[in-house]
Structure formats: C-alpha cells, structure tokens
Amino acid sequence: MLKVGVPDAVDPDLHRLLPGGISLELIPLRPERMVEVEFWIAPPFTRHAQQQVPFLRGLRVTQATVAGVDALLKLVPPGVLLCDARGVHNISTAEWTLAAILASIKYFPLFGGLQRDGSWSRRLEAQERYYALHPPVKRPYPHILCEELHGQQVLIVGYGAIGRAIEERLQPFGVHFIRVARNARDSAGSRDKVYGVDSLPDLLPSADVVVLIVPFTSETTGMIGTKELALMKHGALLVNAARGPVVNTPALLAALNEGRIRAAIDVTDPEPLPDGHPLWSAPNLLITPHIASSTPMFMVRAMEFAASQIGRYLRGEPLENVVSGEY
C-alpha cells in the first residue's frame, strides 16, 4: 500500500480528498522519529519542510503545495521526483494582482490613511501625487483624485498559467495587453502575440502597468534593475507578484524616491522585510506581506491537486508538473 506523508497541521477534513488505497502518515512539523513514506505532500513553508526532510525514509515523490519550488530543490534528496503545484495559486494570485493595481491607481493607501486621521482635509494630496507622476501641460478642472485603468497598456512578464489568469480578470477593464514569456511564441494574429524576454527592453517604455509573475530562477534574479526601471514610462506602475529578488531592491528604492515610478509588491528582498528597512517609507509604494495565495482555498486546491497526482502514481501514469532544472 502506498504510504503518503501529509503534514499533521493540514485540516483533517481535507484528508477525504485523497484517494483510497493509500496509507496516510501524518508527519509533525517538528518530527522526532523516522517516518516511512513513498509520496510526500510537502508543507508550504520552507522551515517546516527543512524540519521534516531528515526524518523521511523511502521517499520517491515530493509533491509541493506551492508553485515556486526553489527552496525544495535544495532539500529534496537526489533521485526523488519533485512536482510543483503550478495552477493551485492562479485564482488567488490573479485576484491579488487586480486588487493591487486598482488600489494603486485609485490611491486607496492615501485615502485609507486619511480615513484613519478622521479628516478629508488633505484629500487634494491625491491630485499632487498624480501631477508628480504625470507632469501636466495644464491642470484641468475639476480636481483629479484617482485614475482609470481603462485604455492602459498592461505588460505581463511571465505569461504562464497565472499570467493568463491575470489577463482574464483585467480583460473587462478595457486594457491592452503586452505578453512576455521566456521564449517568443508563434501566433496567428498580433493580438495574441507573446514576446520573448529578450524583447523586454523594447516593450517597457510603452507600458503603463508592468506585472511580474515569473518563476524565481538564476535567470530571473535581478531581471528588473536600474536599466529596466529607467526604461519604464514616467508614472508607470510596477507590480511584483513573483519573488522579491526578481527586482533589484536598491534600484527600486532609487526609482521610487526619485518619483519616476510607483509600485505594488507582495514580495520583497529581503523577506520578511526587517524593521526600519527603507522600503517601509518609500513613496508611491504599496506593500503586502507575501499574502497573495493565503486564502481559505489554498490548501483545499493544493490537496485536490496532490490527490490527482497520487491517483496518477497509483495507476502508473506520468505525473504532472514534474520539475526539470530550476522549475
């Protein structure tokens, strides 16, 4: 009988999602004894995976519960098949991205602060921020207190499953899409063209919103630095829903402090962000603490996918999302 290891912190109600014909082994987040498992559903947090790995025997398959497996690559023993959870976070991350874009262009962080102050007397700061980002030829009447997404050019860097989910949610807003993947893809029409990442320098100047949703690899580390930020349109919005090191932090701070761009980020480098770090007080920056996928459906979808993988394994079928190389 196939022995499947599951973190004991997972809601027991989710065990029902797993197929029959298996022996379920509940693994403490801090094990104290060796556990025999052939198929391991890894915990989502690196520190817990680090604590469990040394106590696993007979391991042949590791199924991640997250899409990014850069940390697990360093932990899983040689010869063990590693599968990522690509697809599990499509909905949650796409929703966070949409919310981050709208919150930024509607100046919600500013108005949230004024609400806490209990006064709208400083509301015209929104207009001054707008003019600082978009220097006007003349100031129109009436006041500009927020912006519109309609008609904007949105550059999606990392046009995979999550990138497509982001596009689907932005589609009703009447935006224009520019798509970038690792390699260019042939397309029947220019509307659906996907550019290669080598075209990024040519595409950045035309984008109003730049969304980063690439995997974290040696190739993507620092892919947005001083040069790339300088190419962005004045007042453009950078949205990082990927990993912190994809963006060079000193370069981002310089661009924000100079008032050239704005940003919304769910990830930082370093992470977690230490007390007193200059990103906390950087202007035109919205930060959340890596929470895009942390919804009530996270582990439900992860366990559903793990269950489908176990079923394939039991039937002798090829597993999905097998990691080859860095991802």
Tokens 């989710």, located at residue: 14
169 is catalytic: no
The residue from 36, 148, 271, 326 that is catalytic is 271
Residue (of 36, 168, 146) closest to 97 by Cα position = 168
Per DSSP, helices labelled H in the chain are 46-52, 70-73, 90-105, 108-117, 125-133, 161-170, 200-203, 226-231, 249-257, 298-315
15 among known catalytic residues: no
Write b or e for each residue in 288-307: b if 16 or more Cβ atoms lie within 10 A of its Cβ, otherwise e.
bebebbebeebbebbbebbb
SS3 category, 186: coil
Q: Extract the tokens encoding 139.
A: 């100031």
DSSP code for 86: T
Torsion of CA 209, 285, 219, 65, to 10 degrees: -100
Tokens of residue 120, six digits: 């709208």
Q: Does the active-site annotation cover 47?
A: no
Catalytic member of 15, 176, 182, 290: 290
d(CA 267, CA 254): 18
Q: Which of 86, 243, 262, 301 is catalytic?
A: 243
Helix 90-105 / helix 161-170 crossing angle, nearest 10 deg: 50
Rounded to 5 degrees, what angle do the CA atoms 314, 316, 318 make? Answer: 110
Residues with a known catalytic role:
243, 271, 290
